[in-house]
Amino acid sequence: MTTLGVSRPALASAARGQHGSAAQEGSSEITVSDVVDVVALEAKWRDLEPRANPSLFQSWTWTGCLARERFSSPVLVEACQDGRTVALALFNRRGRTLHLGASGDPALDSIYIEYNGVMTESGREAELTVACLLAARRAPGLRGILKRHLILRGIDTCTAACAAEAGDIWYDRSLISPFVALTDKEPDFLNRRSANTRQQLRRSDRHYAAIGGIMTERAETLSQAYEYLDELRMLHQRSWTARGEPGAFSNPFFGRFHHALIACGLPRGEIDLLRVVAGPRLIGVLYNFRYRERVLAYQSGFDYSGAGRHGKPGLTCHHQAVQCAMALGPPGMIFWRETIATSGASRIRPRGCIGSRLDPAIRPVLLRAAYAVSLRRGRRSRTHRASAFRRDRGKRADAQRSDAAKSINLKLLMDHKLC
């Protein structure tokens, strides 16, 4: 296991979970501490954001939204160098597990964080991420001996590679999030789509254009944004309940969180609520995030009842969102297509869960559990061997009968020739 760009004294301080002394020149000192003052943390977080390259999910707009409710036992990992903060990571502690940017409660984590990770100064993402994850794992655990588990939801491949330096990792699932680089004009953008996509999109646009002109309305005020969100919720729930699924808004916290997120992010220009209509008919509503020259498609609701045979409300709405991003965004804007279904998690567990360093009070419990598992595996192994033996014995008996039949036939044939 390697640690990049962090001095040994800093790692030792992180392992003890204490606030170390001032860092030496060229080294980073990492501290792990409980969060007491959320207002002070916000100031520290907002100060680092301009020097970092975070996603919206790493910004304080998302992290600080209903933070006191989501982080019941918050733990802050902070890296400092030359008197300035160079990395921050906020975890929530549940037992011996630390959850990065999440609570660990399924009801509160139904907001589905994406593009998660340690927020670091630009250009130092790898070294500081590895160091902060190591410090979080080495923070005092059960009776100060066992290392902590880390759960990292919605991380990218770079953070996953850094996590591998901090311990063994288990992937829950990993999915691809497609994107569109909006560097070209609209005709060029369409020409780079497949022939089937272009045909379906144009046919859908003609279908809705026959009802009325397709228009995209963007929420400019909080009251308008909440009105669009209510329409999105109605369409989303209607679609998912028709499939026998509860839908994202079935959890009251989901709607409450996004009301608070819109109140914070809309004045900062970080929230896009787009209402796409064809004349008097509503096609759909999109809920996107706009941050650092990126547009993230987060949630949506479409009216499938009026789509007919040729209408594709999702395709038409997202095409309108791409056009809106091209019109409002700077050159090089990237439109990411992301849904709540793409959320995944990686789990970092300590190596060697059973060993001589365990506390004597808990070692017998784990040994009994391991012994029970080995017994079950032994029974399954013996059953498998017995079944394999019976199959082999049957095959041997069949082969012997076949050889005997061949001998009889050969003997008859030879007798026939002799005659």
Gap between the Cα atoms of 389 and 397, Å rounded: 12
Does 283 share its domain with 375? no
Does 171 share its domain with 186? no
Does 309 share its domain with 262? yes
Cα torsion 154, 347, 49, 225 to 10°: value is 30
Q: Positive or negative CA dihedral for 251, 252, 256, 262?
A: positive
Does 188 share its domain with 327? yes
Does 319 share its domain with 252? yes
Q: What is the DSSP string of 290-305?
A: EETTEEEEEEEEE--T
Label residue 138 by pLDDT band (50, 70, 90).
confident
Q: Which pLDDT score, from 0 to 100, does residue 335 have? A: 60
Does 32 share its domain with 166? yes
Section 234-258 average pLDDT: 95
Between 324 and 226, the more confident residue is 226
Does 278 share its domain with 395? no
Q: Which residues contact 136 (CB under 8 A, 6 or more apart)?
A: 32, 75, 77, 89, 91, 98, 100, 148, 150
Gap between the Cα atoms of 251 and 327, Å rounded: 35
Gap between the Cα atoms of 381 and 123, Å rounded: 51
Of 318, 349, 380, the one marking the end of a domain is 349
Place of tokens 């640690």: 3
Residue 223 lies in a domain: yes
229: which 2 tokens? 């969100």
Residue 125 lies in a domain: yes
pLDDT higher than threshold 60 for residue 359: no
Contact 283, 265 (CB under 8 A): no
Section 366-388 average pLDDT: 54
Strands (E) across 228-280 are located at 271-278
Does 45 share its domain with 14? yes
Residue 161 lies in a domain: yes
Query: What's the gap between Cα 384 and its chain centre?
Result: 38
Residue 355 lies in a domain: no
pLDDT higher than threshold 50 for residue 406: no
pLDDT higher than threshold 90 for residue 197: no
Does 92 share its domain with 204? no
Q: What is the mean pLDDT of the chain?
A: 77
Between 164 and 88, the more confident residue is 88
Residue 1 lies in a domain: no
Please count the structural domains in the chain. 3
Q: Is 320 left (phi over 0), alpha (psi -120 to 50) or beta?
A: alpha
Q: Which pLDDT score, from 0 to 100, does residue 354 have? A: 26
Does 275 share its domain with 137? no
Does 23 share its domain with 160? yes
pLDDT higher than threshold 50 for residue 135: yes
CATH number at residue 222: 3.40.630.30
Contact 312, 200 (CB under 8 A): yes
Section 255-278 average pLDDT: 96
Q: Which pLDDT score, from 0 to 100, does residue 256 have? A: 96
Phi and psi at 88, nearest 5°, equal -140, 140
Q: Which pLDDT score, from 0 to 100, does residue 208 have? A: 94
Cα torsion 7, 10, 11, 15 to 10°: value is 170
Q: Over the stretch 275-320, which tens digit does the pLDDT of each residue have?
A: 999 999 999 999 999 998 788 889 999 999 888 888 999 999 998 9
Q: Which of 245-259, 348-362, 371-385 has the lowest mean pLDDT?
A: 348-362
Residue 3 lies in a domain: no
Gap between the Cα atoms of 267 and 379, Å rounded: 63
Residue 113 lies in a domain: yes
Does 110 share its domain with 189? no
Q: Which pLDDT score, from 0 to 100, does residue 134 have? A: 92
Q: Over the stretch 104-121, which tens digit does the pLDDT of each residue have?
A: 999 999 998 999 999 999
Q: Which domain holds residue 326?
A: 179-337
252: which 2 tokens? 């009251």
Helices (H), 305-362: 313-328
Residue 102 lies in a domain: yes
